[in-house]
Structure 1
Amino acid sequence: MIQIAIDGPAGAGKSTIARKVAAQLGFLYVDTGALYRAVALHVLRAGAAAADTAAVTALLPSAHISLRYENGLQEVYLQGENVSEEIRTPQVSRAVSAVSAIPEVREFLFGLQQQLARENNVIMDGRDIGTVVLPQAQVKIFLTASPEDRAQRRFQEMQGKGQAVSYETVLADIRKRDEQDTHRAVAPLKQAADAVRVDTTGNTLEESVTRLSRFIRKKLGL
């Protein structure tokens, strides 16, 4: 099976770009960030603090998370409910970094991620795919962009969904997320030694998709 790992900071466009490239290649797209967001939503719904390791760990056995592919799109289910939209709210975004830093959470989702990669040709994106989850991936990409560029994209996305938020707040959240992700003790965000760094600052979505698709095809000889 072919494994393509895409890592990078929040708002770099990993999910959107990876989903489109996977569709072009006929690969299975796995948004690992959505799995962590589902855990964060489960924790918030239970009224627990995202940074409370004991409370979060205690809630894991009752978190029933699955990915389903409907009409070519990945849908995330929590307790049998489609939460694909709810996991993208600002509240979940603020909680997910703390939740994903908990070792028990990463172990809880690790098996599911590896099983998907064993059974399918995958493009998987996240924070530690090339370094921890799929260290033997044939293609590794570290996708990034400036904080300002990433905040602008996220701001426009949230506006399109009718979420009332300012650009300044989104930028502050992006910078805080970067600090948390790169300095956490477990599986911090970093570029794998054999990953190719791709900076999409100033690129349109179409330009980024074309660039990654061409690179992956060349790397795999497709």
Structure 2
Amino acid sequence: MEDAVNDAVDDRPADAAPILVAIDGPAGSGKSSVSRAAAVRLGFGILDTGAAYRSLAWTATELGVDLDDAAAVAAILDDWEYRITLRGEQRVTVRVPGADPETDPADVTAAIRAHAVSGLVSRVSKHPEVRDRLNAMFRGIVAASGLPGVVIEGRDITTVVAPDAPVRILMTASAEVRARRRAGELAGLSHEQVLADIAARDAKDALVVDFFTPAPGVTLVDTSDLDFEQSVQAVVDIVRAVQRAAEES
């Protein structure tokens, strides 16, 4: 994976595995923006796993693949190349199977954030083989990062991708609060429209993951009554507390 900024340094052995901070949460909980800000403050990298699902949905659409066909979506991964920056401004590129090498890889950083793409994510993420293969890809990205630590946020992070991470956080917020936050980010959509979208997304996500009940060993951070700075500080405090405990032991 590409890295946009020089690696942070610490006093750990050069070949030490990155410290993992795993953060799950439903759409609109603030996990992406909070995770990125917390990673910067900690001197860690940030791996937004949702960007991979968005990129895969975008690729499937470009290829005309039925997103509900598990085998067809998984087949894309055989020749699909994905890159994302772990530090600095996020940049996402994909190499689309069979695409013209003159125009590939494609920079999809902006395209995957379109509202239309957001509505497709659950259709690709519901396939077990797709999740398994992307989860393996995420682990590889972290292992090869060369960073002192990586905050990983997205789907199945605390329970499947990094169940042994020393810090595991479930970040949530009420549907009303999440809709209000997302409405401010999505021009042209009313609060009611965004709330309906979030309710539908929650219902789809509930078929494959529980974003509201923390698994054993996972710390719950409810940001419903927290502003952005308070949410970031809550994550940083949890990470630093775990680091201090590890040093003392």
Code of the residue aligned with 1:181 in structure 2: it is: D
CA RMSD of aligned residues (A): 1.8
Partner of residue 150 from structure 2, selected from 122, 132, 142: 122
Pairs within 5 Å for 1:158-177: 158-159=186-187, 164-177=188-201
Match of 2:207 among 174, 177, 183: 183
Match of 1:104 among 129, 134, 159: 129
Counterparts of 2:46 and 2:178 in 1: how far apart (Å)? 22
Instruction: Tell me which amino acid in the other structure corresponds to 2:91.
Output: E
Residue 193 (1) aligns with residue 210 (2): no
Q: Is the 8 A contact 2:21 2:150 kept in 1?
A: yes
- Quick one: distance in 1 between partners of 2:210 and 2:122? 10
Question: What percentage of residue pairs aligned between the two structures are identical?
Answer: 40
**Aligned-partner SS, 1:50:** coil
Contact 1:50/1:96 (<8 A) preserved: no
Report the CA distance between 1:130 and its aligned residue.
0.9
Q: Secondary structure at the match of 1:141?
A: strand
Which consecutive unaligned segments of at least 5 residues does structure 1 have?
none
Change (3 A) 1:21 1:98: same
Conserved? CA contact 1:7–1:191, under 8 Å: no
Alignment correspondent of 2:241: 218
Decide which of 24, 41, 59 is 2:58's aligned counterpart.
Answer: 41
Q: Is 1:113 aligned to residue 162 of structure 2?
A: no
Larger Rg: 2
> Number of residues paired by the alignment?
215
- Structure 1 contact 127–188 (Cα < 8 Å) conserved: no
CA distance in 1, matches of 2:226, 2:70: 39
Q: Is the 8 A contact 1:113 1:133 kept in 2?
A: yes
1:68 Cα deviation from its structure 2 partner = 2.6
| Offset at residue 191 of structure 1 (A) | 2.5
Give the TM-score taking structure 2 as reference length: 0.80
